[in-house]
Amino acid sequence: MEAVLSSYLAHLAVERGLAANTLASYRRDLRRYVEHLKARGRVTFGEVGEADVLAFLTALREGDGDHPALVAGSAARAVSAVRGLHRFALREGVTGHDPAHEVRPPRQLRRLPKAIGVAEVERLIAASGPDGAPLTLRNRALLELLYGTGARISEAVGLALDDLEDDQVRLRGKGGRTRVVPVGRFARQALDAYLVRARPSLLGHGRGTPAVFLNARGGRLTRQGAWEVLQAAAERACLEGISPHVLRHSFATHLLDGGADVRVVQELLGHASVTTTQVYTLVTVDKLREVYAAAHPRARQ
């Protein structure tokens, strides 16, 4: 079983190109699964039955002496990893059956993405820092870009100067997928101000880098550094629960509120499937209710 597991993890890393963090999660979940099978006396995957997989799911949800109980989302991820492992074993001819085929991951409660209003976004961006300071110009450009393009924080800090093209930006997303996203007037102006008035002075503190966003030492701004920029601005603006993904959610929600087609938003966000984007349409139900209440003659009672 260890040999099959190693082959599957190598397959995920090389052929599927999974991110390092995702691969680490799969490795952790599947090693726990193999230990579970060994404790039940299974030596090969050919001996594993559906009852073994179901027992693992139960152990995930209930916990044991060595592991705490997992919430539905974490358990679902582990079961998905197990299902993938058994599909791989069947496809490679290691076994003649797939005992996990009928085992479904636990259903998760759908949590709506958090989005803040346009006025709150403006407060956040206005709290970038002291006027005119190089780092303030950088911070404002970063926040404008995150909200104006829906970029993930890793995509923003990964930007190089060659990725900026007039009124659009090239973002490199998950799975190595690249997309081109328009840059609005406010984000473009903030970027221009930073690139002309602040970046050269920051660059002088370092050894030279093509990165768009630099830290105070002239090197590439890290994800942690960008997170700290956002948190500091949120604190100054007296906003709670703000994260880079909140700006991404707000970008998508405000586009849909403005009448954008969900498939256009899908392309802008870099989602592989439109079903991932459709969760944002649930956020705009409140907007539909407001319009209905204001416009329908039988709604005003």
Tokens of 34: 């193999």
C-alpha neighbours within 13 Å on the C-beta side of residue 138: 24
Question: What is 35-100 written as a DSSP string?
Answer: HHHHHTT--SGGG--HHHHHHHHHHHHH--SSSPPPPHHHHHHHHHHHHHHHHHHHHTTS-S--TT
Active site residue 147: no
Active-site hit among 36, 86, 140, 271: 271
Q: Look up residue 221 and give its DSSP letter.
A: P
Active-site hit among 172, 248, 249, 254: 248
Q: What is the CA radius of gyration of the chain?
A: 24
Q: End-to-end alpha-carbon separation of the chain, Å?
A: 66
Q: How would you list the strands of the sheet with 168-172, edge to edge?
A: 164-165, 168-172, 178-182
Active site residue 97: no
Active-site hit among 174, 179, 220, 236: 174
Active-site hit among 152, 188, 199, 254: 152
CA distance linking residue 254 with residue 269, whole number of Å:
13
Q: Please, are residues 151 and 268 in contact by the beta-carbon 8 Å criterion?
A: no
Active-site hit among 185, 197, 245, 287: 245
Pairing of strands 178-182, 168-172: antiparallel
Active site residue 271: yes
Active site residue 114: no
Torsion sign across C-alpha atoms 286, 291, 295, 296: negative
- Distances in Å between the Cα of 203 and the Cα atoms of 5, 146, 154, 216, 297 are 46, 22, 20, 9, 61
CA distance linking residue 122 with residue 181, whole number of Å:
21
Active site residue 248: yes
What is the set of active-site residues?
152, 174, 245, 248, 271, 280
